[in-house]
Amino acid sequence: QVQLVESGGGLVQPGGSLRLSCAASGSDLSAYAMGWYRQAPGKQRDMVATITSGNSTYYADSVKGRFTISRDDAKNTVYLQMNSLKAEDTAVYYCNALYMDLWRKYDYWGQGTQVTVSS
């Protein structure tokens, strides 16, 4: 089993920055696609950013130019650098690891970390 643990969330003022980390254990994540998702109260869980095993990145339109996803496979860790934060970014942020072979999907989630953007 893959265990994912997010950290780095907290309270920040609009315009501020945070860096989220997702530390993995139980498996080498180098072959997984990794992603950050977020969910606000009463809302669905939406993709924020993803990064493939080949380091291709994808971002939700709402965060393009402000957020950067990266991975350090030597440390088995994925990061989300969040700049120019807005109140609308307030949510619980979840780390995801996804691997697919011919037979099944391997899909793992962390417990989430709260990000609150407020004055």
- Phi (first) and psi of residue 24, to 5 degrees: -110, 145
Q: Which residues of the chain have pLDDT under 70?
A: none
Output the pLDDT for position 27.
84
Contacts of 56 (CB under 8 A, 6+ apart): none
Please give the Cα distance from 15 to 13 (Å, whole number): 6
Nearest-5° Cα angle at 49, 43 to 52: 135
